[in-house]
């Protein structure tokens, strides 16, 4: 035991144990103790006697902690709690950050034009071009819109543009990045392994979750893009099999959205001969707004003014996507996506990454793999994710929040879900 450890545990218990040891040595003729060793033991006893017994030492261990194993267990527990308390005192929430990555629907022709002169960005697009087999930057900058909106182009475009926006954040606001990223940078084959100092956590919406995982060091840039290439292609094929889409629905306290979706399913089954009708919630944005997805006939029926009013739906807005993502219509895409994910090694996250499927932070890589497959057929619990990420005591400050990627949709949702957190929101234009 080191001298530091000795002084830490020199309490009443230490003195009694040491005194008993010395007495056994003195009485037992079978144990040989040199004069110098005996002198050292006596000196330790005298030192222990000279230390006054404080009330803190008297109560260092609870009364029910009595044997050596319990002493050891208690010491470890107390040390971990003390460490947590010190960490909590040292970390000022104002000096931490949350990074949000947007998903499909936020894309626009021209995105990336404010990023290409930043370090590493062109190199990122060059690597993307090699993996994808086409000029991704050209599609981002010039479109046309119908090409960019295609899932096969849109998902890689959002992924690369969002991570390029991280490069802009690092270059333009180093004082902000200091509290979020310790060492970061892109080189061919190694964009991940970001060392995060004070990042509270990160989350991405739908395909944005892959950017969050790269940012957190779970996936390499190349591996994530390889998966997204398969994901986008499989989801595009599933969309082509069945005419479908997504639509934002704004509701009030008197709205009957669940009943409206059930009725829409029954309607297309009876009048359009759809045997396995789909019309369900795809995204939970906030209490008064959901995104629903399903067969196009069901969405078109709900858009009729007479139908909308019957169910007291406030407003409906189709989204610029090519399929009913995060619904059962994406089931054909699960198998190819699962195969692609199983080929890739996932690291432990360096910061908390929150799952679209559960709203909670990922515990381990195996769960991440399963969740990414389930994600394409299950609703995105974005409202629930925000509640988990920003949960804190009433008087506790909020971290800085950065939306890195095209649009400000996630910021708009955050403002509705948690207005106080939104006061420290920043959008990084692309």
In the listed set 290, 318, 346, which residue is the last one of a domain according to the structure? 318
The active-site residue, picked from 239, 280, 322, 326, is 326
Is 201 inside a domain boundary?
Answer: yes
Tokens of 101: 């990555």
- pLDDT of the residue at 170: 84
Question: Considering only CA atoms, which of 251, 261, 254 is closest in space to residue 313?
Answer: 251
168: in domain: yes
Please say if 326 is a catalytic residue.
Answer: yes
Specify the pLDDT at position 172: 82
Please give the distance of CA 210 from its chain centroid, rounded to a whole number.
Answer: 10
Same domain, 291 and 348: no
Q: Using the CB atoms, write b or e for 23-61: b if 16+ within 10 Å.
A: eeeeeeeeeeeeeeeeeebeebbeebeeeeeeeebeebb
pLDDT tens, position by position, 11-47: 333 333 333 333 333 444 444 455 655 666 666 666 6
Same domain, 264 and 205: no
Q: Which domain holds residue 303?
A: 243-318
- What pLDDT was estimated at residue 322? 85
Residues 234 and 110 in one domain: yes
pLDDT at position 190 is 31
Answer whether residue 347 is part of any domain.
Answer: yes
Same domain, 148 and 190: yes
Residue 187 among the catalytic residues: yes
Are 118 and 404 spatial neighbours (Cβ–Cβ below 8 Å)?
no
191 plus 306 within the same structural domain: no
pTM for the predicted model, two decimal places: 0.75
The CATH number given to whatever domain includes residue 107 is 3.40.366.10
Q: Which candidate in 7, 80, 187, 287 is catalytic?
A: 187
User: Same structural domain for residues 343 and 302?
Assistant: no
> Is 214 in the same domain as 342?
yes
Q: Clarify whether residues 382 and 255 are in a common domain.
A: no
Q: What is the 3-state secondary structure (H, E, C) of the chain?
A: CCHHHHHHCCCHHHHHHHHHHHHHHHHCCCCCCCHHHHHHHHHHHHHHHHCCCCHHHHCCCCCCCCCHHHHHHHHHHHHHHHHHHHHHHHCCHHHCEEEEECCCCCCCCCCCCCCCCCCCHHHHHHHHHHHHCCCHHHHHHHCCHHHHCCHHHHHHHHHHHHHHHHHHHHHHCHHHHCCCCCECCCECCECCCCECCCEEEEEECCCHHHHHHHHCCCCCHHHHHHHHHHHHHHHHHHHHHCCEEEEEEECCCCCCHHHHHHHHHHHHHHHCCCCCCCEEEEEEEECCEEEEEEEHHHHHHHHCHHHHHHCCCCEEEECCCCCCCCCHHHHHHHHHHHHHHHCCCCCCCCCCEECCCCCCECCCHHHHHHHHHHCCCCCECHHHHHHHHCCCCCCCCCCEEEEECCCCHHHHHHHHHCHHHHCCEEEECC
Average pLDDT, 10 consecutive residues per value, the chain (430 residues): 33 35 40 56 62 46 56 59 46 76 93 94 96 97 94 96 92 64 29 42 87 91 97 96 96 97 97 96 96 97 94 94 94 98 93 91 94 97 93 86 93 96 94
Cβ neighbours around 282 below 10 Å, total = 26
Q: Which tokens hold the place of 284? A: 């939970």
Among the three residues 268, 293, 318, which one is the final residue of a domain in this structure?
Answer: 318
- 241-289 pLDDT tens trace: 999 999 999 999 999 999 999 999 999 999 999 999 999 999 999 999 9
Q: What is the pLDDT of residue 332?
A: 97
User: What pLDDT was estimated at residue 419?
Assistant: 95
Asked if residue 411 and residue 278 are part of one domain, the reply reads no
129 lies in a domain?
yes
Q: What is the pLDDT of residue 74?
A: 56
Residues 103 and 137 occupy one common structural domain: yes
Judge contact between 150 and 164, C-beta under 8 A.
no
Q: Is residue 14 part of a domain?
A: no
CATH number of the domain enclosing 280: 3.30.70.250
The closest alpha carbon to 342, from 363, 315, 369, 364, belongs to 369
Residue 212 lies inside a defined structural domain of this protein: yes
Nearest to 330 by CA among 367, 390, 267, 372: 372
Q: Which of 136, 200, 171 is nearest to 349 (CA)?
A: 200
> Among residues 244, 258, 247, which one has the least CA distance to residue 324?
244
Last residue of a domain, one of 284, 318, 352: 318
Q: Do 231 and 265 sit in the same domain of this protein?
A: no
* Residue 202 within any structural domain of the chain: yes
- Position 71 scores a pLDDT of 58
Residue 81 lies in a domain: no
Q: Are residues 189 and 255 in the same domain?
A: no
Domain count for the chain, please give it. Answer: 2
């Amino acid at each position: 035991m080191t001298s530091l450890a000795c002084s830490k545990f020199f309490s009443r218990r230490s003195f009694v144990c040491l005194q008993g040891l010395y007495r056994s040595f003195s009485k037992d003729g079978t144990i040989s103790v040199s004069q110098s060793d005996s002198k050292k033991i006596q000196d330790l006893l005298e030192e222990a006697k000279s230390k006054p017994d404080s009330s803190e030492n008297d109560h260092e261990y609870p009364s029910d902690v009595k044997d050596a194993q319990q002493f050891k267990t208690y010491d470890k527990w107390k040390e971990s709690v003390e460490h947590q308390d010190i960490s909590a005192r040292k970390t000022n929430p104002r000096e931490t950050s949350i990074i949000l990555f947007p998903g499909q629907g936020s894309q626009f022709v021209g995105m990336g034009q404010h990023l290409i002169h930043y370090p590493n960005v062109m190199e990122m697009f060059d690597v993307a071009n090699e993996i994808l087999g086409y000029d991704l930057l050209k599609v981002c900058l010039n479109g046309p819109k119908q090409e960019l909106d295609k899932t096969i182009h849109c998902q890689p475009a959002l992924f690369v543009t969002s991570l390029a926006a991280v490069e802009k954040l690092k270059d333009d606001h180093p004082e902000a990045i200091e509290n979020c990223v310790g060492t970061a940078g892109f080189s061919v084959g190694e964009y991940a392994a970001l060392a995060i100092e004070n990042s509270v956590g990160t989350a991405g919406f739908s395909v944005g979750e892959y950017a969050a995982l790269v940012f957190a060091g779970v996936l390499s840039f190349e591996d994530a893009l390889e998966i997204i290439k398969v994901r986008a292609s499989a989801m595009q094929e599933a969309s082509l099999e069945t005419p479908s889409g997504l639509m934002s629905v704004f509701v009030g306290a008197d709205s009957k959205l669940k009943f409206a979706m059930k009725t829409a399913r029954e309607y297309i089954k009876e009048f359009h001969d759809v045997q396995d009708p789909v019309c369900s919630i795809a995204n939970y944005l906030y209490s008064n707004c959901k995104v629903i997805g399903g067969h196009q006939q069901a969405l078109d029926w709900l858009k009729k003014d007479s139908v909308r009013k019957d169910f007291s739906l406030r407003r409906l807005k189709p989204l610029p996507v090519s399929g009913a993502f995060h619904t059962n219509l994406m089931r054909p895409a699960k198998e190819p996506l699962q195969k692609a994910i199983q080929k890739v090694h996932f690291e432990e996250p360096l910061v908390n990454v929150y799952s679209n499927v559960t709203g909670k932070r990922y515990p381990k890589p195996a769960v991440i793999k399963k969740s990414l497959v389930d994600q394409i057929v299950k609703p995105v619990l974005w409202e629930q994710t925000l509640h988990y990420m920003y949960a804190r005591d009433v008087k506790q400050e909020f971290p800085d929040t950065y939306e890195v990627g095209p649009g400000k949709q996630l910021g708009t949702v955050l403002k509705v879900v948690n207005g106080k957190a939104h006061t420290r929101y920043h959008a990084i234009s692309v």
